[in-house]
Amino acid sequence: MKAMYSTRLFLLTLGLVVAGNNVLLAEPKSGYEYIKDETRALQDDDFDNPGMLTVDRGLELFNSLLPGASKRCANCHQQDGEGLDSKSIARYPVVERSTQTITTLQDRIIACTERTGVKALAPDDKNLVALQTYVRHLARGERVAVDTEGLDALLARGEKLYTTRYGLIDMACQHCHVFYPGTMIRGQHISEGMTNGFPAYRLDIGEITTVQQRVQQCLNLMRAEPFASGSEELRLFELYMTVRSNGLAIETPAVRY
């Protein structure tokens, strides 16, 4: 009863009117444009940006042996990952066209942790997220550049997920992030839900957060059952949302509320 009441109140505050459908934007805007000035200042200063601690941790892990490992990432990709190509990192997720398999940057790193001689790390493993944050940070300033050729079927599935209504509040992602960017909700401006800042540091929870974790958090906000970590649905979300973010400069680690 109480839940129903607060749900209605929530919808009322939002003013739920839906018109048109324009999910792939001609000119996407980074979440950076929607955050408060103080948050922007935090992100802009590497000494103040709390996400930089995770970048440093990722760098340290990159150059050292993971627990139980016989090889370092740096053994194959040079000290500090200097052998990695930032333009190539900006193209993730990548898709194997013949099998339509999505490989996110995290998937690639999981496969690579096995190359170091340890068993595959779980998607929410802190060491994995730190490595992922460090690697994506190497591409900071590069433009998000997912190659969309031959992705129609996967993007259609992503769009389906993005436009489906979920949870008690019976809304879809697009209701907030396509129709209502700029609207205030719980003291924050709703953004277009782009992925160029991720992994990003969230002040609200005080943690670095991957794109897929952010999707789970929005589903929680919608009072819906989030898709499981490592699920194909979250991979489709990430692919779809990163295509929406094509052209935006990578900000990792962004700071967000």
237 binds ligand HEC (CB under 6 A): yes
Which residues, at least 6 apart from 180, have a Cβ–Cβ distance to it below 8 Å? 14, 190
Contact by Cβ (8 Å): 219, 140: no
For residue 115, CA distances in Å to 70, 109, 164 come to 9, 10, 38
Q: Which is nearer to ligand HEC, 53 or 72 (by Cβ)? A: 72
85 binds ligand HEC (CB under 6 A): yes
Active site residue 218: yes
The CA distance from 157 to 68, in Å, is: 39
Name the DSSP letter for residue 127.
H
Q: Which of 144, 151, 154, 215 binds ligand HEC (CB under 6 A)?
A: 215
Beta strand 184-185 with 188-189: parallel, antiparallel or unpaired? antiparallel
Interaction residues for ligand HEC, span 94-133 (CB under 6 A): 108-109, 111-113, 115-116, 131
Burial annotation 184-207 (CB, 10 A radius, 16+ → b, else e): eeeeebbbbbbbbbbbbbbeeeeb
Q: Which of 222, 239, 243, 255 binds ligand HEC (CB under 6 A)?
A: 222
Interaction residues for ligand HEC, span 15-54 (CB under 6 A): 31, 34
Q: Which of 190, 234, 236, 248 binds ligand HEC (CB under 6 A)?
A: 190
Q: Footprint of ligand HEC on this chain (CB under 6 A)? A: 31, 34, 62, 71, 73, 75-77, 84-85, 88, 108-109, 111-113, 115-116, 131, 135, 171, 173, 175-177, 185, 188, 190-191, 193-195, 197, 200, 214-215, 218-219, 221-222, 237, 241, 256
- Catalytic (active-site) positions: 218
